[in-house]
Structure 1
Amino acid sequence: MVRKLGLAAMLITLLVVLTGCFNIEEPITRDSTGVWDSYLVYPLSWTIIYFADLFNDNFGLAIIVVTIMLRILILPLMIKQTRSAKAMQAIQPELTALREKYSAKDQKTQQKLQQEMMAMFQERGVNPLAGCFPVLIQMPILLAFYHAIMRTREIGGHDFLWFALDAPDPIFLLPLIAGVTTFIQQKMMMVTDNPQMKILLYMMPVMIAVFAVFFPAALALYWVVGNIFMIVQTYFITGPNVGKKAEVKAGGKKK
């Protein structure tokens, strides 16, 4: 889980760095060249404009529809991530027992612990890194969505609800909702007895909320809608907390 924590932080940092590595001042059009613009940014921009035209120039509603479409597109990966978290939860009591058995901090004991954990993962068919793959897929999509919003000139000047889509939310309500929904979504997926995941549970919502304060509200809207979609998906696949059963089992063993 330490690797997952590091990977998540690295990907978010990479996302922030990359947002400044491309020319976001250049409008995206059908004449834009390059793989990035032609196959990622422009199709997203065109789709947003297409749905906005259908909804009477309502770009906010268009962004919501495109977000849901993107989530449905990567739904198989997200279901795999959810099931991977559920599988990890199922073996948490045994992993805890292993950590207690090999609690000594010397290198030989820790190597033995890692070997037995890997053997358990193989035996149960669990890939502890499977949950990272959807994150790798989502990062380019999120970055492309950011570019589509920033470089689609048609979005400029349009409002949705209480905010302008091409500027940060002036009352910071949308960033707050983005942070809260991120927290809820992660809480539903959290490995209950893992301290690294608990750190991530609080760190990620704060980072998302801070980014949303400075980014255009349209991007924060994407985060909020995506989080709500994920919360509903997780609920219907695993229930309100994938760790609940594992926690009950662990409590039963202690008795």
Structure 2
Amino acid sequence: MQRNHLLAILLMTLLVVGWMYFFMPPPPKKAPAPAATAPAGEAAPGLDAPLQTPAPAAAPVTDPDSPLAWLPPAAEDPGDPATDEITVADEGLELVFTRVGARLKRATVVLGKDGTDSAQLVPQSFAPSDAEAVYPLGLRFAGQFWGEELNRRRWDAAPMEDGRGVRFTLEAPGRARVVKWFRLSETSNTVRTGVEYLNLSDKPQLLGLDTREPAVSLTWGPDVASGDHAKGASQQFVTRVAGDNTYKPTAKLDPAKPVERVIAPEWVAVWSAYFAVAVKPEFEGGQGWIEGRPGAFSAGVGAPRTELGPGETAVWEYQVYIGPTARRALSSAWPSLPTVQRFFTSVTLMDQFAMLLLAVLNWCHDHVWANYGIAIILLTLLVRIAVFPLTYKSMLSMKRMQKLAPELEKLKQECGENQQEFQKRTMELYKERGVNPLGGCLPLILQMPVFFALYRMLWNAFELRRAPFMWIADLSEPDRLFSLPFSIPLPFSTLPLDSLNLLPILSAVAMFASQKLMPPSGPVQNPQQKMMMNLMPILFSVFMYNLASGLNLYILVSTMLGIAQNFVIQGANVNVEPVKKKPKASPRSRHFYTAAQAKKREMAKEVRREKEKQRGHGKKDS
């Protein structure tokens, strides 16, 4: 392999390592062990089940005319929390609500055959009671009104007859009645939600404080237990306003900063690699917001300031999406929701390219073979075909330089230690023989965006989650042929070496074979260069060892196709003879107009000579 080819691979590796270091989210920190133990059958909190912080205790009521005095006492512990639970389910969602706060206690996204791959997105709570727990889909009124106190009261519940919804009611006698209802939509993973406020008093009631505090907000907190925080896409708070999305990593939330508000959002969402929770208001003048810290935040959509006269009712409706980031699922909720998914949040062109690759991958899965391992192989073949013109040019350039290797070695011996003279004569030789020294390096660099786009897409695409292929149980995880009886740290990885991952090892073998099949195209390599060339496949294998098996499958297949291309190129005949200089064209042949004018002048001279000759003959006759 030529020197500039080696430099290109080193540059690619450095860029990938730099990308991993600077742009990948840091590994999530393990939460401290809770004092209480999890009930039997429930997983203890860990990386993907954030530990909840109990809600702050309610402030004592001192003013009998305060809105807080209207409310019944906070819910007492019933002993068995299951007595307060109501389950609503369909083929895509299983939602468990609690009467305490009329909130969502568990949200299971049903996935896989018989639900074997299902994911529970509500963080597990270890608070002493539901009244002290933080659950999603609670209500937050303006601070001068009720705040979040309704989340600590026990509501009356009336399940809908078809089992697809539930209606909760809480009444402050003589003051107000609040109704909150949830109903599974006909579209998958979507819940229609409504909040109704009825003024039962004989005086006007004001809800909200201009744009600083909404009248009432539908909230989601304290996190989304998506189980994908170790993936390449960091969790983001997404707002869509006027057709444009804005992304803010939840890892950058700072509780010391003011609440971040967005006026008139089309929807807001908490999005990560595999799952998204989105809230879309069905009314005008809404306000999106988020506050808190990573792993313990609260986000929501609030209703505008509202004043209600005696007996008047205000109604606010929402659509709530709770589900995977699969394109089909997002599209079924509402048209603009698929834009929540981004493989590159800062480089739009790269994101569009990665989306194109995902569309091709899904097409291969849906129309050729319903297996994502086969689809990755087909995608790799298509990518290889698409970049073949660049690859072919690169390999021809390497072959030309390979033919010049003996002459370069001779130049090296003649120049000795004078590297400057050697470089000068080398470039003169390249120019004489019509060889571009960057011809093999530049095409490889131009292919790097393809690698990066595939890297992010194959690692973060929901479609590969739990997708099997041959011995691989999950193409989004390392292939793990079998577990090892030990665990040691691994460079370039947040995961240890605790299993035998076959694909990166096979990729290293294929890369080593590719090097041996491609003879060197420059002077004889020194021992340091040879050692670096031999180490490159090993280093790359270590770097890729704990990454997604789908990505390693792409690299293995692409390397093997490259070996096949090498065999084809080796049979090609290239010419490195000195380039013949074209003779300079004569001035007469340089331009047609100039030649025509010259011919015209010659003809005129000939006519004049004939006339003069005729006049000469006439004088003699006279």
Q: Same fold (TM over 0.5)?
A: yes
Out of 208, 216, 219, the residue aligned to residue 551 of structure 2 is 219
| Structure having the higher Rg | 2
| Structure 1 residue aligned with 2:366 | 53
Out of 128, 131, 150, the residue aligned to residue 440 of structure 2 is 131
Instruction: Describe how 1:95-134 pairs up with structure 2 within 5 A.
Output: 95-103=408-416, 105=417, 109-134=418-443
Q: 1:176-215: per-residue Cα shift (whole Å, max 9, x none)?
A: 1100111111222231722365344312211221123111
Instruction: Describe how 1:57-96 pairs up with structure 2 within 5 A.
Output: 57-96=370-409
Q: Does 1:185 align with 2:514?
A: yes
Out of 355, 362, 366, the residue aligned to residue 42 of structure 1 is 355
| Structure 1 residue aligned with 2:23 | 21
| Structure 2 residue aligned with 1:150 | 459
Amino acid at match of 1:158: A
Tell me the percent identity: 30
Q: 1:197-242: per-residue Cα shift (whole Å, max 9, x none)?
A: 5344312211221123111011110011101111111101215xx9
Out of 162, 166, 169, the residue aligned to residue 476 of structure 2 is 166
CA contact (8 A) 2:369 2:375 kept: no
CA contact (8 A) 1:48 1:63 kept: yes
Stretch moving more, 17-26 or 144-153 = 17-26
Q: 1:141-186: per-residue Cα shift (whole Å, max 9, x none)?
A: 1111121112211210111111121111213221111001111112
Unaligned runs of 5+ in 1: 243-255
CA distance, structure 2, for counterparts of residue 224 and residue 138 of structure 1: 16
Stretch moving more, 52-61 or 194-203 = 194-203
Distance change in 2, residues 1:7/1:79 (3 Å) = closer
Distance change in 2, residues 1:67/1:3 (3 Å) = closer
CA contact (8 A) 1:149 1:166 kept: yes
Q: Does 1:194 align with 2:525?
A: yes
- After TM superposition, give the deviation of residue 79 of structure 1 in Å: 0.7
- After TM superposition, give the deviation of residue 46 of structure 1 in Å: 1.5
- After TM superposition, give the deviation of residue 13 of structure 1 in Å: 1.6
CA contact (8 A) 2:479 2:549 kept: yes
CA distance, structure 1, for counterparts of residue 443 and residue 547 of structure 2: 23
* More helix as a share of residues: 1
TM-score, length-scaled by structure 1: 0.84
CA distance, structure 2, for counterparts of residue 69 and residue 2 of structure 1: 28
Distance change in 2, residues 1:235/1:11 (3 Å) = same
CA distance, structure 1, for counterparts of residue 4 and residue 444 of structure 2: 13
Stretch moving more, 51-60 or 27-36 = 27-36
CA distance, structure 2, for counterparts of residue 189 and residue 166 of structure 1: 32
Tell me the secondary structure at the aligned position of residue 82 of structure 1.
Answer: helix
Q: Whose relative contact order is higher, 1 or 2, with alpha carbons under 8 Å and at least 6 apart?
A: 1
Distance change in 2, residues 1:231/1:7 (3 Å) = closer
CA distance, structure 2, for counterparts of residue 225 and residue 3 of structure 1: 24
CA distance, structure 2, for counterparts of residue 116 and residue 176 of structure 1: 41
CA distance, structure 1, for counterparts of residue 447 and residue 413 of structure 2: 36
CA distance, structure 1, for counterparts of residue 433 and residue 568 of structure 2: 24
Tell me the secondary structure at the aligned position of residue 203 of structure 1.
Answer: helix
Number of aligned positions between the proteins:
237
Q: 1:53-96: per-residue Cα shift (whole Å, max 9, x none)?
A: 22453000000001110010000111111111111111111111
Amino acid at match of 1:21: F
- After TM superposition, give the deviation of residue 2 of structure 1 in Å: 5.5
Out of 532, 541, 562, the residue aligned to residue 230 of structure 1 is 562
Tell me the secondary structure at the aligned position of residue 40 of structure 1.
Answer: helix
CA distance, structure 2, for counterparts of residue 61 and residue 41 of structure 1: 19
CA distance, structure 2, for counterparts of residue 13 and residue 110 of structure 1: 27
Tell me the secondary structure at the aligned position of residue 508 of structure 2.
Answer: helix
CA distance, structure 1, for counterparts of residue 454 and residue 467 of structure 2: 17
CA distance, structure 2, for counterparts of residue 5 and residue 119 of structure 1: 22
- After TM superposition, give the deviation of residue 16 of structure 1 in Å: 2.4
Unaligned runs of 5+ in 2: 25-231, 235-271, 274-324, 328-337, 482-500, 574-622
CA distance, structure 2, for counterparts of residue 37 and residue 125 of structure 1: 35
TM-score, length-scaled by structure 2: 0.36
| Structure 1 residue aligned with 2:498 | none
Distance change in 2, residues 1:68/1:174 (3 Å) = same
Amino acid at match of 1:126: V
CA distance, structure 2, for counterparts of residue 177 and residue 186 of structure 1: 14
CA distance, structure 2, for counterparts of residue 203 and residue 129 of structure 1: 24
* More strand as a share of residues: 2
Tell me the secondary structure at the aligned position of residue 23 of structure 2.
Answer: coil
CA contact (8 A) 1:190 1:201 kept: no
